[in-house]
């Protein structure tokens, strides 16, 4: 396979995105487990964030294991096993984690529940190390970030329906999600998930995915950017960017139930549609950012930029209608989506420019959420999902650009930094015990500020290595 191919390899790309769906489904479902565990185990707000901490710290542990095994074997483990085998192995590890929910529920053990989540995410760590650079490689480099954005859009279809399905599975019916929740009700949903992991592992093993894709290298010979992936400044600064990006994405959602319950008087059962809206916002943004992966035609792209986000919003409304939620509070959100479309058009497909614009708007959204009340603040916080939506593919593409044979190693270092989701969530939960939940969102503003800095800094670094996304994109379109 050559990166010079002018077309996305859809026959290979479509099987790959099934794993992106599962990552989203499980990660967003954690936001429902947090208030359930908080009540069942009588936890403080910062203790309830141990759910996020256990889940996201596993990515770091997984990446460290990956690098340690690669050193012992004196060969990159993904290059040795092949991309398909590595994906299948990751899915089997995740399936083992889901089995722990059964004894954990029977024993009423919070530590065992956390252990199950930890092992599920350990498998995700290996899957992400493989799947992200593979999504970029399945077609031309000019549309690599758009392809990763599209995969992220599938991920966020999982995050949109995950909280609703898990709520329904745990509570029986969302309307009865009340005070006495049996912790044993988490058993069946997670056992079913384990079976699905195994089925997808077999499916991917039999698919036409390449085992050893060709990856792009920097075009300059520079002694400072050879050897270890850590010699590339775009990667090292990108690792911090992934840490704070996943941090603000996850902590905004995982602290939202406590804000809505404590400050605004919502019940746990009423919160699930808003958590779904937050993650649907990620899907809306990613579908918008992915249009260039479908067509080179500029006129078609302009039409799709309006069709794609509202189609994704329609899916959110449809899923919530199936669960008999009142849709009236959500229609106003359609106007906020217009701001996303304008920002996406202003970025002109350049991942660094998109990162800069969206980071600034993210700061504004959080400030509105902090300094207003009622539903205005809720919509402001949920809109953070819109402006986080395309940041992962932007950062990932910028950070691994030019790494060549070091790409899978660099990818594992980036996956390691997903721990930011747990650490930043816990930090915000801890800060909230002094400031209140609403003002604890200052943590998110700090995260976005670093992302704006990275967007500015990395452009110059890549230009010095002969990589110019404006040039590539204008040449490609």
**Looking at residue 214, what is its pLDDT?**
60
Task: Give residue-wise pLDDT tens across range 35-52.
Answer: 788 888 888 878 888 988
Least confident of 25-29, 257-261, 301-305: 25-29
Average pLDDT, the chain: 84
**Looking at residue 178, what is its pLDDT?**
45
Query: pLDDT-based confidence at 471, cuts 50/70/90?
Result: low
**Looking at residue 234, what is its pLDDT?**
92
Query: pLDDT-based confidence at 211, cuts 50/70/90?
Result: confident
> Is 136's pLDDT higher than 80?
no
**Looking at residue 451, what is its pLDDT?**
97
> Is 227's pLDDT higher than 70?
no
Query: pLDDT-based confidence at 372, cuts 50/70/90?
Result: very high
> Is 142's pLDDT higher than 70?
no
Task: Give residue-wise pLDDT tens across range 56-71.
Answer: 899 889 989 988 888 8
- Integer Rg of the chain from CA: 21
**Looking at residue 342, what is its pLDDT?**
93
Task: Give residue-wise pLDDT tens across range 388-444.
Answer: 988 988 998 899 888 877 887 888 889 889 889 889 999 998 999 999 999 999 999
Query: pLDDT-based confidence at 330, cuts 50/70/90?
Result: very high
What are the phi and psi torsion angles at 296 (to 5°)? -90, -15
**Looking at residue 174, what is its pLDDT?**
45
Mean pLDDT of 343-356: 88
Share of the chain above pLDDT 90, in %: 36
**Looking at residue 111, what is its pLDDT?**
92
**Looking at residue 6, what is its pLDDT?**
52
Q: Which of 369, 394, 374, 129 is nearest to 245 (CA)?
A: 394
Query: pLDDT-based confidence at 169, cuts 50/70/90?
Result: confident
Share of the chain above pLDDT 70, in %: 90
């Amino acid at each position: 396979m050559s990166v010079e191919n002018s077309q996305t390899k859809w026959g290979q790309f479509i099987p790959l995105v099934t794993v992106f769906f599962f990552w989203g489904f499980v990660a967003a479902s954690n936001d429902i487990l947090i208030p359930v565990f908080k009540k069942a185990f009588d936890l403080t707000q910062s203790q309830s964030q141990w759910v996020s901490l256990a889940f996201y710290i596993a990515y770091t542990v997984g990446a460290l294991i990956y690098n340690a095994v690669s050193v012992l074997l004196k060969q990159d483990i993904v290059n040795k096993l092949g991309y398909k085998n590595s994906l299948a192995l990751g899915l089997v590890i995740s399936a083992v984690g889901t089995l722990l929910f059964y004894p954990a529920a029977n024993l009423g053990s919070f530590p065992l529940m956390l252990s199950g989540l930890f092992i599920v995410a350990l498998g995700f760590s290996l899957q992400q190390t493989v799947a992200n650079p593979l999504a970029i490689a399945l077609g031309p480099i000019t549309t690599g970030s758009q392809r990763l954005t599209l995969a992220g859009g599938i991920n966020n279809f999982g995050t949109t329906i995950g909280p609703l399905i898990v709520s329904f599975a745990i509570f029986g019916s969302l309307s009865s999600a009340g005070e006495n929740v049996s912790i044993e009700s988490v058993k069946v949903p997670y056992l079913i998930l384990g079976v699905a992991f195994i089925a997808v592992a077999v499916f991917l093993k039999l698919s036409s995915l390449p085992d050893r894709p060709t990856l792009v290298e920097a075009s300059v010979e520079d002694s400072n950017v050879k050897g270890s992936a850590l010699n590339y400044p775009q990667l090292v600064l990108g690792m911090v960017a992934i840490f704070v990006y996943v941090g603000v994405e996850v902590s905004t959602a995982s602290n939202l139930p406590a804000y809505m319950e404590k400050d605004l008087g919502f019940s746990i059962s009423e919160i699930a549609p808003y958590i779904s809206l937050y993650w649907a916002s990620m899907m809306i943004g990613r579908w918008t950012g992915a249009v260039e992966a479908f067509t080179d035609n500029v006129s078609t792209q302009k039409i799709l930029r309006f069709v794609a986000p509202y189609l994704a919003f329609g899916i959110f409304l449809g899923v919530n209608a199936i669960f008999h939620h009142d849709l009236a509070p959500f229609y106003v959100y359609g106007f906020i989506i217009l701001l996303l479309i304008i920002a996406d058009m202003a970025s002109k497909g350049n991942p660094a420019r998109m990162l800069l614009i969206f980071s600034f708007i993210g700061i504004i959204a959080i400030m509105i959420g902090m300094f207003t009340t009622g539903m205005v603040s809720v919509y402001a916080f949920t809109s953070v999902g819109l402006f986080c939506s395309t940041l992962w593919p932007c950062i990932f593409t910028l950070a691994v650009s030019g790494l060549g044979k070091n790409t899978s190693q660099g990818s594992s270092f980036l996956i390691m930094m997903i721990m930011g989701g747990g650490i930043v969530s816990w930090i915000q939960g801890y800060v909230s015990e002094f400031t209140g939940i609403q003002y604890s969102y200052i943590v998110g503003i700090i995260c976005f500020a670093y992302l704006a800095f990275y967007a500015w800094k990395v452009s110059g670094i890549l230009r010095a290595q002969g990589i110019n996304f404006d040039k590539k994109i204008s040449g490609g379109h």
